[in-house]
Each structure stands twice: as C-alpha cells, then as structure tokens.
C-alpha cells in the first residue's frame, strides 16, 4: 500500500519557511515519511492569512506537518530553536541570509555546531552577484526569459501556476535525499542552497541551447515555428475547445480519417511531413471547419482509439470532476482546524501500484504542537510560554 512507503520514517525535519518554495520542500519530505515540524512566529505564518490567488498556498503545501510557534526575537525563542536543531536531521529555511546570520543560525554556523545536520536553504539566487536580491516566482520568470517565451511579443506573461516555487522545493527535497544518503556513509551533514532563479533558468535551458547551437533566438511560444503538421486548438460543434496534435505521419493519416478529410491523404502537395508542415496556413482552416462539425464526445472516442494527442481546454476547478483525477489515490483529503475539508493532489508517483501518502494530511492549528515538541526537549511550561512569546502576552 502507498501509505507503507515511508523511506524517511525516523527523519526529523525542522522547517522555518513561508509562501511556497520552502513549504513545498517540507511537504515533499513529509510525503516520504519524515516528521516535519513547522516553526511559525507567535501570530502564525502570514501565508495562512492570504486571500485571492494566495488562498490555496498554505493549505496546499503545509499538509501533514506539526506546528510550533516561537518568538525568535527573544533569547528564549532562539534557544528553543537551537534545541530543536540539536535533535533534527534536516533544517529547511527560506529566510534572508542576513536575517539568519543575525539570529545566529547561518548555515555555516549550524553545520559547525551540529556536524550531522543537513541545512536546506531555499533562496532566490545561488551565491553570486544577485545573491542578496529579493526574488519571487514572477521576478525570476521575467529575468530568465520564461515570461518572454510564454506571452506573445511585447506581452510577457508569467506561467499560470507557481511552478518555479514548487520545482524549487522539489530540488530542495531532492538535494536533502542525496545528503541523507551520503550522511549514512560519512556521518556528516551538508549546507545545501537551492536557487529559484537557477531553477527557472533550467526550465528555459532548451531555448538557450538552441541559440547556442544555431545562433538564432526562438520566438515566443505563441509565435513559435512549428515542427508538426497539426498542433493547435480547435472548437467543436458543442463549443468545446480542444487541443489536437498530429506529430507523425501515422497520426496525420488517422486524424484525416477521423474528421472526414480523406481527400487530404490524396493531395499530391501533402505527401511528406515537411509538405504538411509547410502547408499549415492552408490546412489548418480545413481542419478547423471539419472539427467544428463534430461533438466533443465523438472526437474523444475517435482520437483516443486512434492514438491522437488531444485534450479539452480545462479550468483547474474542472479537475475535481475529471475521471482520472477521481481515481483512487488521485486526490487526498485534508482538514482545516475548524473541520472544513478540501481535496488536493499528492505526489505524482505510484509505489507498487498505489500513490504514497502520510498517515495525516490535515493542516495543524497555529502552534498546536508547541507544548508536546518543546516539553520533549525538557522545557518547562514556563520556559515554553516564554519561548513562544505568550508569557509577555499574559503579563500584559
């Protein structure tokens, strides 16, 4: 069963992050069985309170974690964090370098203090000229050319999700796994740093390499030069938009027959793949007219049977009704502290035929595990109240 796949069982991760990149790193480690203890300020991670497009950030990437609150502006709060790190295997953070150093938790300091600790720092940039700049997903998409490639000329667009942050978190978790394997042999931890900018740079590497090889820049994706006869969006008779591709000679033949365009198969000017690509301006309106004569359900049956790449143009909300997403393991149920539930995807993998998941994927209330975790370090109730910043609140 997927729930039995817990390769990181027994690994303790202390996570001090916010937004998406750092939390997603901890989320991936939790999915693999690690105990992830999220350290939040006394008022809770500000990401908890985001609205609009940010509403899903915290619940999506903080499922299944324990929550403790510490006031790191105080000696008691910093001492408690130090105690946690003394017993941890991994520390995931995404603070500014200067802020960490000021608190006494710079990666090199921690590695010297705790030689077995693995520090995973999720930053905007790796070391270099930009290392102290403030970064976010949109910033690095603009910097690397990702936004330029996504929108039409003169209209750079960020991609429609926080893909860089999530992939950056994945590289963080990937690096942690490597460091944990190495530590089994050496007993030594590592200071890891993951760059959001460098992550986005890797995503546009194919366009960089094309330029390096050919000496010419690829146009933005909406204006790209096509390498396939059909690779476009069409509208069906029942007003469904559908992407359809025919990228091989065999798919060209299947598509023509599926939409009643057998005459194109006999066209002497369309006998090779290159002929078909060069004739796109002429043939695409013909395909559009033909596809407009069919209901989507009819085309879905024909395209799936014929091995044609196709897809309806869906909205994210429609994924809850998608039969493949609704299969067992496709969505995992979680609960907010007030009992409200929500569903979200898990890791996109299967282990022995099932999707792995930790025992609980609920969202912890702010600081819900503070007493249990800190008392396990030997702190008294008074010490805990001081460390989490509630003692002075009570006194006031």
Single residue among 272, 290, 315 that ends a domain in this structure: 315
| Same-domain check for residues 276 and 360 | no
For residue 14, which phi and psi values (nearest 5 degrees)?
-100, 120
Residue 209 placed within a domain: no
On whether the CB atoms of residues 87 and 81 are closer than 8 A, the answer is: no
For the stretch 10-23, pLDDT in tens is 999 999 999 999 99
Q: Report the interhelical angle of 196-203 vs 205-214 (nearest 10°).
A: 60
| Same-domain check for residues 149 and 237 | no
Residue 144 DSSP SS3: helix
Single residue among 259, 286, 315 that ends a domain in this structure: 315
Residue 348 placed within a domain: yes
Q: Report the interhelical angle of 249-258 vs 296-306 (nearest 10°).
A: 150
| Mode of pairing for the β-strands spanning 341-344 and 332-335 | antiparallel
| Same-domain check for residues 124 and 258 | no
| Same-domain check for residues 171 and 243 | no
Range of the domain at 110: 2-204+328-395
Is residue 138 exposed (0-12), middle (13-18) or buried (19+ Cβ within 10 Å)? middle
| Same-domain check for residues 122 and 165 | yes
| Same-domain check for residues 104 and 51 | yes
Residue 213 placed within a domain: no
| Same-domain check for residues 257 and 188 | no
Q: Which residues pair with 155 in a beta bridge?
A: none
| Mode of pairing for the β-strands spanning 66-69 and 230-235 | unpaired
Work out the number of other CB atoms within 10 angstroms of the CB of residue 86.
11
* Total domains in the fold of the chain: 2
Residue 155 placed within a domain: yes
pTM of this structure:
0.93
| Same-domain check for residues 245 and 277 | yes
- Opening angle at CA 346, ends 343 and 347, nearest 5: 170
Edge-to-edge strand ranges of the sheet holding 35-40? 66-69, 35-40, 12-16, 90-93, 118-123, 191-195
**Residues near 254 by beta carbon (within 8 Å), at least 6 away in sequence:** 246, 306, 307, 308
Work out the number of other CB atoms within 10 angstroms of the CB of residue 176.
29
| Same-domain check for residues 144 and 291 | no
3-state helix, strand, coil in the chain (%, to 5): 45, 15, 40
pLDDT by position in tens, the chain (length 396): 456 899 999 999 999 999 999 999 999 999 999 999 999 999 999 999 999 999 999 999 999 999 999 999 999 999 999 999 999 999 999 999 999 999 999 999 999 999 999 999 999 999 999 999 999 999 999 999 999 999 999 999 999 999 999 999 999 999 999 999 999 999 999 999 999 999 999 999 999 999 999 999 999 999 988 889 999 999 999 999 999 999 999 999 999 999 999 999 999 999 999 999 999 999 999 999 999 999 999 999 999 999 999 999 999 999 999 999 999 999 999 999 999 999 999 999 999 999 999 989 999 999 999 999 999 999 999 999 999 987 554 433
Residue 46 placed within a domain: yes
Q: What CATH number did the domain enclosing 347 receive?
A: 3.40.50.10540
Question: How far apart are the C-alpha atoms of 48 and 23, rounded to whole Å?
Answer: 12
For residue 34, which phi and psi values (nearest 5 degrees)?
-70, 150
Single residue among 315, 341, 370 that ends a domain in this structure: 315
| Same-domain check for residues 267 and 198 | no
| Same-domain check for residues 236 and 157 | no
Residue 67 placed within a domain: yes
Residue 156 placed within a domain: yes
Q: What CATH number did the domain enclosing 235 receive?
A: 3.30.1540.10
- Opening angle at CA 191, ends 372 and 65, nearest 5: 30
On whether the CB atoms of residues 3 and 356 are closer than 8 A, the answer is: yes
Residue 214 placed within a domain: no
- Eight-state DSSP code of residue 354: B
| Same-domain check for residues 154 and 231 | no
């Amino acid at each position: 069963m997927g729930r039995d796949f817990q390769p990181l069982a027994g690994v303790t991760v202390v996570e001090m992050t916010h937004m998406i990149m750092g939390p997603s790193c901890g989320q991936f480690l939790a999915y693999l069985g690690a105990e992830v203890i999220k350290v939040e300020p006394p008022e809770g991670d500000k990401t908890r309170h985001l609205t609009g497009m940010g509403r899903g950030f915290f619940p999506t990437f903080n499922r299944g974690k324990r929550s403790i609150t510490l006031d790191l502006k105080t000696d008691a709060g910093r001492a408690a964090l130090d105690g946690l790190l003394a017993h941890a295997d991994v520390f995931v953070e995404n603070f500014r370098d200067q802020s960490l150093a000021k608190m006494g938790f710079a990666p090199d300091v921690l590695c010297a203090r705790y030689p077995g600790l693995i520090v995973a720092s999720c930053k905007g940039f790796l070391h270099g000229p930009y290392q102290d700049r403030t970064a976010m997903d949109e910033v690095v998409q603009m910097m690397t050319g990702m936004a330029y490639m996504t929108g039409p000329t003169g209209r750079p667009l960020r991609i429609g999700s926080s893909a860089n942050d999530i992939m950056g978190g994945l590289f963080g978790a990937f690096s942690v796994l490597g460091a944990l394997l190495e530590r089994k042999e050496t007993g030594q931890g590592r200071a890891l740093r993951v760059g959001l900018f460098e992550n986005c740079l890797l995503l546009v590497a194919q366009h960089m390499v094309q330029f390096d090889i050919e000496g010419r820049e690829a146009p933005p994706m909406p204006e790209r030069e096509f390498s396939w006869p059909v690779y476009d969006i069409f509208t069906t008779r029942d007003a469904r938009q559908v992407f359809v591709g025919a990228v091989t000679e065999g798919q060209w033949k299947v598509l023509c027959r599926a939409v009643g365009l057998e005459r194109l198969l006999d066209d002497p000017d369309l006998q090779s793949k290159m002929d078909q690509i060069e004739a796109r301006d002429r043939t695409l309106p013909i395909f559009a007219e033909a596809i407009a004569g069919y209901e989507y359900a009819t085309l879905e049956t024909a395209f799936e049977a014929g091995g044609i790449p196709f897809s309806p143009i869906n909205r994210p909300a429609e994924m809850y009704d998608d039969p493949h997403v609704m299969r067992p393991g496709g969505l995992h149920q979680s609960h907010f502290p007030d009992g409200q539930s929500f569903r979200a995807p898990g890791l996109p993998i299967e282990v022995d035929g099932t999707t792995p998941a930790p025992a609980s994927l609920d969202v912890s209330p702010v600081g819900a595990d503070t007493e249990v975790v800190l008392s396990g370090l030997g702190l008294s109730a008074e010490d805990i109240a001081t460390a989490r910043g509630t003692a002075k609140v009570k006194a006031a």
